[in-house]
Structure 1
Amino acid sequence: MSDLPTGPAIAAVLYRPTPAHLDTLAGLAARAPAAYLYDNGGLGAVDRARLAAIPGLRLLGDGRNAGIATGLNAAAEAALADGRRHLLLLDQDATPGPDLPARLVAALERLAADGERVAVVGPQPRAGEGAHKPPRYPARPGVVPVGSLDPVDFLATTGSLIALDAFRAVGPFRDDFFIDGVDLEWCFRAWARGWSCWADRDTGIVHHVGGGTIRARFLPVAMPRQSLPRMATYLRNSVYAWRLAHVPWRWRLRQAAYLPLQAGLYWADSGYRPAVLARLGRGVLDGLRGRLGPPAGLG
């Protein structure tokens, strides 16, 4: 079974979704050949019934927060079992335009026609209302752009189109990372196994992370404002990734310089509370010791 002319199958991991987000997903799912939605918590009985009534939509998960990686893996495995070729990944941090699926499929097919083994292609994040800081994707050294398509070290799962043959070859997202860094680690692993990751600078998506932006007073540095458990998990997974052979040394060195600055900004934004510093420190220590899995307090 191949993807229908209406576009690729879609997948989303739901965690306490807003009514507006569910409306967007329901509209996309109704136009897609298939949709796989994973309930990671907060989806009520009325909303489950509404989504289950959409033809071609499958609800996965039991409402417990198993982490975004588990949800994405379940959706990808279901799509593979259904014979799908591509899977468009969505979440609650982004607002996709109606033309996003078609544009990304066209980009992937263009790259494949040029001989690229494409693992994932995604849009360029744009800042929306509220001054949120969108993600930035570092360019992949030594690989030449193809028109508006830029080779990147990694890109967020949000709004990205995964080639499911690449998912089968590269392997699943890391469940023990739970949330932060699962896309970064997977993309580095894809490059190491002969697949490539691309961002289309002509295709945008409004994408924000967290509940605002923390900015340094005297340096051109900004970072998302997130919950303390989420920030500690980000530090943990970033530090743990230093031991992975497929993570390039240039990225490890960059993070070694950047993570202390981010932690300091976060601590300052909290009012220099000792409990915050202690939690961040435990996150770093857990990363060094390889203590992964569901983080305490994330819900």
Structure 2
Amino acid sequence: MWEYTDKVLELFYNPKNQGEIEETAEQNVKVATGEVGSIACGDALRLHLKVQVDTDKILDARFQTFGCTSAIASSSALTELVKGLTLDEALAVTNKDIANYLGGLPEAKMHCSVMGQEALEAAIFNYRGIEREVHDDDDEGTLICTCFGISDTKIRRVIRENSLITAEEVTNYVKAGGGCGSCLATIDDIIKEVQRESALPIAAPASNKSAVATKIAPSTLTTVQKIALIQKVLDEEVRPVLLADGGDVELYDVEGDRVKVLLQGACGSCSSSTATLKIAIEARLRDRISQSIVVEAVEPLF
């Protein structure tokens, strides 16, 4: 059960400005429309703006949304924020402004506010009859998340704009990595690249983030804690990748820094099982827990 603010629930149960704006013969007025998202991916938003031509002022804004509580509330909030603004003023509205208007959104639902910002930009650039100058290359980069069709260009942009530092946060903002999970390791690499390029501080995540995202000094862990963290990394970051290729892994034993695992399914019979151990498993555990970890495969007892 998501913990929604009163404002989110208010705009979900009684959304403001829901519907569409149709073109009329009204003088000095035009309608702009921006559409983002996909019903196949779970969320879609069509935003309508009624614009006074000679002043560029937004006289009215309405929305049509297919999505969850946060998507509907974010869309409604967006329309309230932009009414009365000029188009240039509206372009300054960010996804953070939408979330703040709502009193906050659950971290896993921040992508709904991003969708609102992108629909607003799409509507304004469509109205002006020009290419989308801000994010026109979002779909031109390398495809990273095949589940949701997210490119590395879009991932890099949202990392920079929101100072994201974990793959989990990227998933919350643009859904990348929220499907099969096979792209999470690549998203981690992109985050590190962006941090190097922009000199963003590599800060520790907030206390409510997953412990997997933080590299913990092994000396601070008890044996039980270390085993639990290893299991968490395997479950949340390694197994989704292997399962996508028909394989799997099970934690067998932990002896100091020696981690013994059972490779299963396609991984057990694969000729590249050694690479799986070193790249998919050992490298991840070293990055998350300790550089001295060594992963070994054990044969099943039967």
Same fold (TM over 0.5): no
TM-score of the pair, normalised by structure 1? 0.28
| Structure with larger RCO (C-alpha < 8 A, sep 6+) | 1
TM-score of the pair, normalised by structure 2? 0.28
User: Greater helix percent: which structure?
Assistant: 2
